[in-house]
Structure 1
């Protein structure tokens, strides 16, 4: 089933969400939301803007006009000239142009330069610099007093501020002078502007020119003083350096004489180079001897192990090899003959044995001779190796001694050379100072002299007003959004759908206020609207009216075609379509707290149902503070509580205030309303009433103060939540959460007592004009 919006006041024309609605409205605000906030707070914004413009106008139109004169200087960074008379000997280099320009800017704003200008122009008696003040006017006087008072909090107190300093000028006059002086560097160039502001244009120009002249003159004087000081310093330094040269030369000669060092022997091509070549040759020889020794040592180890046959000298000796072959042949012959004959009985065998022994003896002698030769060579190689190592150590000692002597000698030579060079440099500088003493120079030149300004530079009235207007508008808008951000009230259907995740069934305007402003063409009643609001819509239990006429609050019964009547009919229609499959039989009407208008809404909804949906029963379920009987003018001697306790029968306490509408009052007081309403008897009674009547409307107590509404909500088909326009979102969210926790079904929310004149809503007059037309009689 398609859902439709029946609320004539809703700005949103999208179809109304179902009771299970979860976020049909967009969470992200659009530009229209911001525009609505601005329109709603337009008086605050306008007041902020007017206050800012008024205060600015009051100040700028009463301030004394100031004239600013400007002069331009060219500052060239200090460089080392041909005749450098500025930099003393051994002075560090300039760290950079940035430091130079910053230094010059500080000099231009120095107190000593300001005191010099004040003295030269006799400005100490001028009211601008601490002299006898003239009448500044009311606003200017206030401004000056405020400025002085604020300045006390940001500057250290100085009781001697008006006393003359070392320059003879009071400190207060120098402070006032520097406050009006501005140094304006033109970054990216070597130009700087000197600006000064006073109410007198000619005085401003004269002060700027004097300030520039004194600055240039001071720079030249400083350079002259520096040159004189440098010359005196260099003269003293020259005498010291001359004595230093003589002492270093004497020390060098004494060292060479004591250590027997000849200057040429320290040359790279002299004795040092010879020792280096000798050491190289010895190392090469040692390497060769070590190789031979290692080889012979290996052969020596073979001899010690009894393996002399493996010596290269043995294996390469032809005689030994021949003897080995002879011994092998004789041993073979002897072995063969021994198999046939026995030794001692066969003479040829004995002769062969003697010959074999003789060959073996000769072979052993030759091998022993070769081994002894190897041992001899090994001993000779070891001795030569030791001798070469000792020789290398001696040469190294000589080289090290020569190095030590040459290093110390080089140190002394460098000292002598440095002393001589420094002496020559200082001597040359002294001669340059004598030549350039009468040639002063300046790296500062005047590009533009100050001109007498024709128009004041401040206050800039139009700019100040424009800027204050912009800031006032921005501040007003910011304050409006700040207040809106902390405004925790529900004011529109979009907020209900976004904050509560529930459909907004209707926005009920403040009809009494609306009609009193002339919307709709006629009034709800002949009575005073303010009294009607107090007696009917307030729904407050603190001071209930003694009796309220039926037509005062039951606007549906008074005129079903009135704007209020049509609105309550739309609420009934929305409730009929709020449940899929079948229309709800019982509706519980409640609010988060008291005073929201739930009782008036319950009465008018019940009457609207009675006019369109057959028999309707209105039950006053607020056993603690019942109100329905007072509005209907019916006595509350017996009612719901009496039926639940069994003291009365249902038929005995039902009233019929109008056709189609039955009413069951709260009844007599009971000690425990919560237990009575939560009993099974109440559930059975409500089911019975739903069978007897087409619709049952229950006016329940507020949700937050007591638990009665939460208990009754589980018995009804659904709940209609009434929210007063100024109610906090947090309170309503807690009430809805409390109902959801017990399983109640919330059909929707009705926002009550809405101010339709607010930019949060469309103006109500098109709807009221439509509803105010009476239907024409059939022709």
Structure 2
């Protein structure tokens, strides 16, 4: 009896994510995670799309080689310049400003870098080298302005200036197709830059001189006009100024004739008042005090004579009585001297008082005269002060114009000095030398760039394709994208009969992988091993029939009696020699027993119920209660019943079979089953109330325990082979 099983394979696709837990029984699926793009996923993508990435790498390297071959050689020459601050400034204010902001700072260096990169320097260098007339440099058929613009643009495009991070050295290079031209233009750019700096300084000084000359002429005119107005006003008002104060100070009352006279009279009045006070004091003290020294001097002789007579009188008094004639004569003479002394004292005192009085009266008269003169001059000075207000305004304007005129003259002299001794802040340190080798193309650099771009393009394309065609490829995809437990990953098998042979060999990778699935199924329910099991998939060709056979063979090998039912009534994988037996016959007949349609296989303890003849209405047959009776009868005779169901998408058969069997093993082809389709299939199964035990990943490329499947020589089945021969147990003998 020949029976066959379809085992299709194909390429990988990618679709969207989903939520598989909706509609499933509690505990049959978990909420999917969002793993992102981690290192393991990236390595898997690289492995899956390695040929695409290698092709992009090869293309990038090929493009780099072609670009290198097609790129004309260019040469680069370097020049080093030293930048120093200017030593002479135009004005003191500018010098202070530059010293405060730091003329030697990085800002000054950056400014010089900008000037070196300017179009003006490129145009100046092009003109100095006569590049517009060089037929090898620009198109000679264009007019002169056009050739100059072309030459300037070409010089500017080949210039590359490096901005120094520290120090005062600026390095720049020029790239040209000729080594000699590269060095020549680089050196000329440096010289043009130095000459341009000197010319700008000279032009700045010349501009300043012209500006100051105009300002000086205007200020001179204003000064002359203000001086004429001042003189005219002074003449009209009769103001005479005898002198001026310090330079720039306003004129005062003391500078006029009236002011000077008033000052002199005030000084004389003060002296007269002092004399009058002294004379008055002397007069009054002389009247009240009594004899003075001059009075005593005038009566000195009389007083001496009186003293002699008084002494004589006292001497004789001891001998004579006062009535004695001699005594009387002496007393008479003494009395006469007293009268003479008194008369002489009176005359001397009277003369002195008269003299003091005359002096006092003279001082008083002089004081009063000076007071009268000062009062008159005060009125005149006050009148002059009122008339001098406009004079002061005009005088201030004259002083201002004179100060401005002198300042402009001083600045004009400084500009002349600065323009004569100014030096350039730029000097050449290293001139450009003729390069010995081309700067571009650089084969090694181009290969590295091509390799990097090719690798980046390959990785980007692989990642884009990986996420564009969202398929289930690994165990993690089953868990994360579908929310299912992965019971096992089955590698691809190669050869005509390798799948059956691999099942016979318990040590083969395929057999070991299915053994892992069987082991997981033993603990998938609360009762342990499920009594009935439906094996289905999203679409056809995912290896569900192979999985059903492998699971059944593994259970049978462990001593369990297993019945494999081919429930695909549209495209059965297992065919018997005769169509008289099979599931279809049982579904259309209520009298026949299920045991009459069970056939032995080449595997011990493994029995097969083929599909039978293909009915026109498989879904109608399966929707009756007959299949439940058949499944119950088979479950009573065998330890486990495995149903090979058709795909879920587009058909109702699997949903009907799953609702009866109550346990489903979902088969997913690695790299072919799209996530969106698998999600939809799981939702449909969940709607039947079935218990989804987990998923088996077929044709997987994942490594098992660090060993690749290809290391063991496994490959894919023959695409043309769609059936697996099932030999009855008796036929083997």
**Residue by residue, what CA displacement relative to the aligned partner does 1:202-226 show, whole Å, maximum 9, x if unpaired?**
4333333333333333433443344
Alpha-carbon distance in structure 2 between the residues aligned to 1:710 and 1:406: 122
Deviations 1:125-156 (A, max 9, x none): 54652258xxxxxxxxxxxxxxxxxxxxxxxx
Q: Structure 2 residue aligned with 1:752, among 681, 684, 698?
A: 698
1:331-355 deviation digits (Å, cap 9, x = unpaired): xxxxxxxxxxxxxxxxxxxxxxxxx
Higher relative contact order (CA 8 A, sep 6+): 2
Paired with 1:762 and 1:635, the residues of 2 have a C-alpha distance of 42
Residue 243 of structure 1 corresponds to which residue in structure 2?
A: 221
2:575 is the alignment partner of 1:632: yes
| Aligned residues between the structures | 539
**After the TM superposition, which residues 163-562 of structure 1 pair with which residues of structure 2 at under 5 Å, given as runs?**
163-165=143-145, 169-247=147-225, 418-433=400-415, 438-439=420-421, 441-512=423-494, 515=495, 524=497
What SS does structure 2 have at the residue aligned with 1:511?
coil
**In structure 2, distance between residues paired with 1:413 and 1:487:** 97
- CA distance, structure 2, for counterparts of residue 634 and residue 411 of structure 1: 137
Relative to 1, partners in 2 of residues 1:101 and 1:617: Cα closer, same or farther, differing over 3 Å?
Answer: closer
Is residue 44 of structure 1 aligned with residue 52 of structure 2? yes
Determine which of 669, 673, 678 is the counterpart of 1:724. 669
SS in 2 for 1:452: coil
* Change in 2 beyond 3 A, CA 1:744/1:234: same
Matches of 1:191 and 1:579, distance apart in 2: 81
1:578 aligned counterpart, secondary structure: coil
User: Aligned partners of 2:178 and 2:542: how far apart in 1?
Assistant: 70
Task: Indicate yes or no: 2:550 matched with 1:620.
Answer: no
Partners of 2:455 and 2:639 in 1: how far apart? 58
Structure 1 residue 54 corresponds to structure 2 residue 53: no
Contiguous gaps of at least 5 residues in structure 2: 1-25, 240-249, 254-386, 716-733
Shift of residue 643, structure 1, vs aligned partner: 4.3
Question: 3-state DSSP class of the match of 1:594?
Answer: coil
Cα distance, 1:718 vs structure 2: 1.3
- Taking a change above 3 Å as real, the CA distance of residues 431 and 669 of structure 1, as seen in their structure-2 partners, is closer
Structure with larger Rg:
2
- CA-to-partner distance for each residue in 1:444-485, whole Å, 9 max, x for gaps? 333333333344433344344344434444444444444444
Deviates more, 1:644-653 or 1:703-712: 644-653
The 2-side partners of 1:740 and 1:193 are apart by 74
3-state SS of 1:632 partner? coil
Alpha-carbon offset, residue 724 of structure 1: 1.7
1:588 to partner: Cα distance: 0.8
2:685 to 736, 739, 743: 739
Q: Report SS of the residue matched to 1:593.
A: coil
CA contact (8 A) 1:590 1:701 kept: yes
Question: Judging changes above 3 Å, is the alpha-carbon distance between structure 1 residues 738 and 128 closer, same or farther for their aligned structure 2 residues?
Answer: farther
Contact 1:554 1:603 in 2 (8 A): no
Shift in alpha-carbon separation, 1:641–1:52, aligned structure 2, 3 A: closer
In 1, distance between residues paired with 2:558 and 2:86?
Answer: 102
Following superposition, the deviation at residue 113 of structure 1 comes to 4.0
Deviation, structure 1 residue 690: 1.6
Separation in structure 2 between the aligned mates of residue 639 and residue 410 of structure 1, nearest angstrom: 136
Task: Write the distance in 2 (CA, Å) between the matches of 1:438 and 1:104.
Answer: 23
Are residues 1:677 and 2:622 paired? yes
Structure 1 residues 588 and 250: alpha-carbon distance in aligned structure 2, compared to 1, 3 A threshold: farther
**Residue 591 (structure 1) shift:** 0.8
Instruction: Work out the CA distance in 2 between the residues paired with 1:480 and 1:19.
Output: 35
Quick one: structure 1 residues 468 and 767, their matched pair in 2 at CA, closer, same or farther if it must change by over 3 Å? closer
CA contact (8 A) 1:39 1:759 kept: no
Distance between the aligned counterparts of 1:256 and 1:683, measured in 2? 139
**Tell me, what secondary structure is at the counterpart of 2:661?**
coil
CA contact (8 A) 1:77 1:101 kept: no
SS of 2:709's equivalent? coil
Q: Does the aligned pair in 2 maintain the 1:19–1:578 contact within 8 Å?
A: no
Contact persistence 1:227–1:433 (CA under 8 A): yes
TM-score when scaled to structure 2? Answer: 0.61
